[in-house]
Amino acid sequence: MEQPQRRQPPLEPETLPPLVETRPHHVGGGWGETLRIILATIAVVIGVRTLTFEAFNIPSGSMVPTLLVGDYLFVNKAAYGYSRYSLPGFLRFGDAAPPVTKDCKAAPGRLFGSLPERGDVAVFKLPKDTGVDYIKRIVGLPCDRLQMIGGALYVNGEMAARVRAPDFVLHEGFGGAFTAPQYIETLPGGRTHPVIEMSGDQGLLDDTPVFTVPPGYVFGMGDSRDNSQDSRVPEVVGFVPVENLVGRATYIFLSVKEEESLWRFWRWGRSIRTERFWERVE
């Protein structure tokens, strides 16, 4: 016989579940909220770009063999402290004359400032056109005396030793394979780096007068000694105010062969130099 089902007694009024709120909740949105999010994102991006690292690419061969055309690298913006040139261009309102100092160890015009080390590869704003970024090796510090004699660099009367190394060969660009005599140069203080001499030791910039770096300035040169407009050419670059330094080059994070475009992704297999990824810039 089928058992009768027991019916549940009705709930007492005090045990009934509370009514669910059916009124719509306010949800933030609209143009005002969107604008706040956009402004906050822009502020974060500007802050990171100003205070930490910024990406640059190499468009010329003046730093061969250390840097090749098509290298993309990170620059440490905090390495030498901060100046007006640490800011994006649209946040700078005009350029002023570099601050004057008589202290050979000072870094004028910089917050938390410090001088580069001799041998650093640094990005700086071109003194004659601060809208242009240059990258060179800092070989002279404030109050140093520098001169090129027969292709050799002299710093404060001391020759930077050069040791012959195997020729530098680049199997791309420059109309085909490119070969140049290569040396390992040692700066006073012990920093070493490679340089190449495309025209031997008789190039236009292989013999120069003595350059005395003023306080508050540095002296930069390219590692491709015969293919670099740098501090040896006063009418183009000359002495670089410490204030104009943007930062120190650190790592190559991407490298594309000179004759290729980064945007031709279908040719990445033969255009990307994977062996240069995360190579330290020294």
Report pLDDT digits (tens) over 165-192. Answer: 999 998 775 556 789 999 999 999 999 9
Residue whose token pair is 């190394």:
165
SS3 19: coil
With b meaning 16 or more CB within 10 Å and e meaning fewer, what string describes 236-255? ebbbbbbbbbbbbbbebebb
Provide the CA 107 distance to its chain's centre, in angstroms: 19
pTM over 0.85: no
Question: Looking at beta carbons, which pairs linking 258-264 to residues 24 or more positions away fall under 8 Å?
Answer: 258/68, 258/69, 258/70, 258/172, 258/173, 258/174, 259/172, 259/173, 260/70
Among 89, 91, 74, 96, CA closest to 241: 96
136 annotated active-site: yes
In one-letter notation, the amino acid at residue 267 is R
Whether 273 shows a pLDDT value over 80: the answer reads yes
Residues 232, 148: contact at Cβ < 8 Å?
A: yes
77 annotated active-site: no
Mean residue pLDDT of the chain comes to 86
Q: Of 62, 86, 231, 255, which residue is the catalytic one?
A: 62
Integer Cα distance of 218 and 210 in angstroms: 14
Whether 280 shows a pLDDT value over 80: the answer reads yes
Digit-coded pLDDT (tens) for 231-268:
999 999 999 999 999 999 999 999 998 766 666 766 67
Q: Of 77, 125, 136, 257, which residue is the catalytic one?
A: 136
Spatial CB neighbours of 78, under 8 Å, sequence gap ≥ 6? 51, 52, 112, 247
Digit-coded pLDDT (tens) for 29-52:
577 777 776 766 665 555 565 567
User: Which residue did the predictor score with more confidence, 262 or 105?
Assistant: 105
